[in-house]
Chains A and B, each alone.
Chain A
Amino acid sequence: MAAPDSGVTRPGLSVGPTSEFSLFFRVKDGQAPPLRAALLSLQDTPGYRPGDYGMAIQTIHEARFVLFDDDTRLAFITSFDGPWDAYMEDFFTSGPTLALFDAIFGHVEGYDGLPDVAAVRAFVLDAEQTAAAYARNYGGTVKEIRKSQRVNRAFQQVLDHAQAAEILEHPALRPLLDEAAD
């Protein structure tokens, strides 16, 4: 998929509006313990605490950091709304990603850090591996999913109203009535 001679990057596989994005790194010698500690403290920041659902980067569906091969390797795996390659420079100039990068990737090989954006870009592209297979179980962007959740919450509130059954009898509300039974 890559077009090496043109210098133009290609996004990974995508399903609907969402593209997969997976990075694989080598942990620097002796850096596994501080890396684990950094990931633990990341997990304890607002947005990353289990149940927070408000990561600083609002266009990814989820993110995981996996230490493997006896803590010698690190994988960062996520799903991004839009083609991630179009946003490469943005990642390095918008605050939250930067902070994340500096805290985590300082412990892996090849990361010399900012402000050399071109080097960071090369570092990321180097670590990126396109998935061999990718599937999703729901369509839609994070924004759409959040909207659906808000709409469903509102719908449940309506159903809890004493006159809900009566109100939903109106022919225009038929599609909602179909969803009201369970």
Chain B
Amino acid sequence: MGASLELDDIQAGALYERPSPYVGVYLLLCIRDRADGRELVRRLHRIVDPASTIGTADETSLTVAFTYHGLEALGVPQTSLDSFAPEFRQGMAARAEILGDTGASGPDQWEEPLGSTDVHVAIAVLSSDEARLHTVAEKARAAHAELPGIELIWRQDCYQLATGRTSFGFKDGIGQPAVEGSGRASTNPRERPLKAGEIILGYPDETGELPPMPAPEVLGRNGTYVVFRKLHTRVAAYRSYLRARSASRAEEDVLGAKIVGRWQSGAPLALAPDHDDPELGSDPHRNNDFAFGDDPRGFKCPVGAHARRANPRDALDQEGSVDVRLHRMIRRGTSYGPMLPEGVTEDDGIDRGIIFVFAGAHLRRQFEFVKTQWLNDGIFIGAPRESDPLVGPHDDSSSFTIPQRPIRRRLQDLPPFVVTRGGEYCFAPSLSALRWLAELDT
């Protein structure tokens, strides 16, 4: 047992997944007037769910987070602003070059107002059905509607299908770390739950230290950093790419599975190397219970597959220079836009993809490390010229190696399948921090 988490002070959304399926909406607000901003926070505080209420009757959840400029707009003192992580202070757009958000994914191409200093408050409302969503979204709306100093600047509907599948057709959200003290067991019995401080500020992390925490303590403790990114997926391009390189639909499925590291059903290649196994894919007791140690060369799951890059599990344990547990994250992605109908390989011009959401205590060594070292680069697998075949930037002629006997297969000239539409680094404070923010008198 680890240190007990103060569940009644932590926002539920950071720690717990919503039961699937659900519908939801993301709202971005701009605080034009400080007093109205604080009134907004006071109202939001009343409708945010603490982690301790999860699993009870109310099947709707609301999570609220602030950007650096949002905290500034609320009048958080400068000394306190300066105590936040440098990446958070800079904001995602300023980190674009490092993150590989260039060209079509560059901030100058981002959807308005993403990446601008107007983005202050981010609210996610998720619910099991439209009616309940409407009720809570209405509460959120009421929280800002009659406040003239608060402007709704962006709204994005999102959902998760009952199958858990996202636009490329793959079940997502399976690989997640467990967190000590959260009361949830690990879905991967081979991975000990992470020290709470990897995800929630104010508790020791995997290095045995308290993660750097914003001051004062009431503001930082029980909070977590949140990253959201709107990622457009070029589904037709992805399907045509596979089709052009396959003799059959079955072969397309194999190539897709090699690219992701799991079959569309979610069944991991490590356990089902040759054929999809939908029963395995949907079995939460088995679909995350695997490692890569028995497959160092990647004959079952390529070392460059998306999920193996994003979480190499035991694959790098022998290297003496990387501790995978320092680079884990909670993901809360949702889908946006309608699915491209099965079999269609012609682009219909409709925007679809995922809203990628990260929660963790360390922006740099969790989100940015995974994105830059493991997804955008291939140095760590001895393939510096390869990046993630699914989500890598692929600006020059990218390739992807599929180890197989007798001769490896190499996919050439991968186009980018994912384009960043924008995003931001946020901070999801505790309930007591929300109260503190509402009561600021600067």
> Residues of A at under 8 Å CB distance from B?
6-8, 16-17, 55-60, 80-83, 86-87, 89-97, 115-118, 140-144, 147
CB B377 to nearest CB in A, in angstroms, measures 8
Whether the pair B380, A82 counts as a contact (CB closer than 8 A) is yes
B residues within 8 A CB of A82?
373, 377, 379-380
CB distance from A147 to the nearest CB of B (A): 7
A6: nearest chain-B partner, CB-CB: B86
Bound complex: CA of A95 vs CA of B318, how far in Å?
Answer: 10
- A118 pairs with B384, CB closer than 8 A: no
B248 an interface residue at 8 Å Cβ cutoff? no
Contact: A118 with B209, CB < 8 Å? yes
| Contact present for A59 and B321 (CB under 8 Å) | yes
Inter-subunit contact A92/B207 (CB<8 Å) = yes
A81-B379, A86-B365, A87-B322 known; 6 new pairs, CB 8 Å cut-off, are A58-B319, A59-B321, A81-B380, A96-B320, A117-B208, A144-B384
| Residue from the list B207, B322, B364, B382 in contact with A117, Cβ < 8 A | B207
Say whether A91 contacts B321, CB under 8 Å. Answer: yes
Chain A, interface SS category: mixed
Which residues of B come within 8 Å of A, CB atoms?
A: 86-87, 89-90, 206-209, 318-323, 325-326, 364-365, 369, 372-373, 377, 379-384
Q: CA separation between A142 and B380, bound complex, in Å?
A: 10
Q: Judging by beta carbons under 8 Å apart, are A143 and B382 in contact?
A: yes
Residue contact B380 to A90, C-beta cutoff 8 Å:
no
Which among B87, B326, B364, B382 is the interface contact of A90 at CB below 8 angstroms?
B326
- For A93, what are the chain B residues with a Cβ–Cβ distance below 8 Å? 206-207, 323, 325-326
In contact, B373 and A141 (Cβ under 8 angstroms): no
- List A contacts of B372 (CB < 8 A): 86
Verify B321–A87 contact, CB threshold 8 A.
yes
B369 near A86 with CB under 8 A, answer: yes
Closest residue of chain B to A56 (Cβ to Cβ) is B320
Interface of chain B, helix or strand or loop or mixed? helix
A141 to B369, CA, bound (A): 19
Do B320 and A94 have beta carbons less than 8 Å apart?
yes
Chain A residues with CB under 8 A of B319: 57-59
Chain B residues whose CB sits within 8 angstroms of the CB of A115 once the complex forms: 208-209
Complex CA gap A8/B212 in Å reads 13
Q: From A59, which residue of chain B is reached at the shortest CB distance?
A: B321
Chain B residue contacts of A6, Cβ below 8 A: 86, 89-90
A89 in contact with B207 given A8-B86, A144-B382 (CB within 8 Å): yes
Cα–Cα distance between A55 and B206 once the two chains are bound (Å):
25
What CA separation (Å) do A87 and B373 show in the bound complex? 10
**What B residues does A116 contact at CB under 8 A?**
209
A-B pairs with beta carbons under 8 Å apart, 19 shown: A6-B86, A7-B86, A8-B86, A8-B364, A56-B320, A58-B318, A59-B320, A59-B321, A82-B373, A82-B379, A86-B373, A87-B321, A89-B365, A93-B325, A94-B321, A95-B320, A97-B321, A143-B381, A144-B383
- Residues of B close to A95: CB separation below 8 A: 320
Separation in Å of the B206 CB from the closest CB of chain A?
Answer: 6
Name which residue of chain A comes closest to B209, CB basis: A117
A140 to B382, CA, bound (A): 8
B208, A89: Cβ atoms under 8 Å?
no
Q: How far is the CA of A56 from the CA of B89 in the complex (A)?
A: 37
Q: Which residues of the partner chain B approach A97 to less than 8 Å between Cβ atoms?
A: 320-321
Q: Is the CB of A141 within 8 A of B379?
A: yes
